[in-house]
Structure 1
Amino acid sequence: MRKSLRVAGLATACTVAGAALYATGVASADQAGPRPTKEPHNIGLLVGEIDEYYGASQDADGVWTSSPDSPYAKDLARIQAKAKKDIKKAARKAHHGHGGQGAHGKKPAIVLDVDDTALLSFDYEKSTNFTYNKDSWDAYVKAAKRPAVFGMPELVKYAKSRGVEVFFLTGLAESQREGAVTNLARAGYETSLDRTHVFTKNKANPPAYLSHCATPDAWKCDTVQFKEGTRKHIESTGYDIVGSFGDQVSDLAGGYADKTYKLPNPTYFVG
Structure 2
Amino acid sequence: MRKSLRVAGIATACAVAGAALYGTGAATADNASARHTAEPQNIGLLVGEIDAYYGAYEDADGVWRSSPDSPYAKDLARIQAKAKKDIRKAAAHGKKPGEHGKARKPAIVLDVDDTSLLSFDYEKRTNYTYNSATWDAYVKAAKRPAVFGMPELVTYAKSKGVEVFFLTGLSESQREGAVANLARAGYDTQLDTTHVFTKNKTAPPAYLSDCATPAKWECTTVQFKEGTRKHIESTGYNIVGSFGDQVSDLAGGYADKTYKLPNPTYFVG
With normalisation by structure 2, the TM-score equals: 0.90
Alignment of 1:121-270 (within 5 A): 121-215=119-213, 217-270=215-268
How many angstroms apart in 1 are the aligned matches of 2:67 and 2:216? Answer: 41
Question: Are 1:76 and 1:263, in contact at CA under 8 Å, matched by a contact in 2?
Answer: yes
How many angstroms apart in 2 are the aligned matches of 1:261 and 1:128? Answer: 28
Q: Aligned pair in 2 of structure 1 residues 106, 215: CA closer, same or farther (>3 Å)?
A: closer
Q: Aligned pair in 2 of structure 1 residues 36, 177: CA closer, same or farther (>3 Å)?
A: closer
Percent identity between matched residues is 82
RMSD: 1.5
How many angstroms apart in 2 are the aligned matches of 1:45 and 1:201? Answer: 36
Q: Aligned pair in 2 of structure 1 residues 183, 170: CA closer, same or farther (>3 Å)?
A: same
Q: Which runs of 4+ in 1 moved over 6 A?
A: none
Alignment of 1:6-17 (within 5 A): 6-16=6-16, 17=18
Question: Are 2:109 and 2:165, in contact at CA under 8 Å, matched by a contact in 1?
Answer: yes
Q: Aligned pair in 2 of structure 1 residues 103, 264: CA closer, same or farther (>3 Å)?
A: farther
1:98-133 CA distances to partner (integer Å, 9 max, x unpaired)?
A: xxx224311000000000000000000000000000
Larger Rg over CA atoms: 1
Which amino acid in 1 is paired with 2:146?
A: A
Higher mean Cα deviation, 103-112 or 147-156? Answer: 103-112
How many angstroms apart in 2 are the aligned matches of 1:205 and 1:218? Answer: 10
How many angstroms apart in 1 are the aligned matches of 2:15 and 2:155? Answer: 36
How many angstroms apart in 1 are the aligned matches of 2:58 and 2:106? Answer: 40
Shift of 1:216: 5.6
Q: Which runs of 5+ in 1 are unaligned?
A: 22-34, 95-100
Shift of 1:20: 3.0
How many angstroms apart in 2 are the aligned matches of 1:45 and 1:20? Answer: 14
Q: How many residues align?
A: 252
Shift of 1:14: 1.6
Shift of 1:36: 7.5
Question: Are 1:2 and 1:270, in contact at CA under 8 Å, matched by a contact in 2?
Answer: no
How many angstroms apart in 2 are the aligned matches of 1:57 and 1:2? Answer: 25
Which amino acid in 2 is paired with 1:129?
A: N
Question: Are 1:116 and 1:265, in contact at CA under 8 Å, matched by a contact in 2?
Answer: yes
With normalisation by structure 1, the TM-score equals: 0.90
How many angstroms apart in 1 are the aligned matches of 2:64 and 2:167? Answer: 26
How many angstroms apart in 1 are the aligned matches of 2:147 and 2:255? Answer: 22
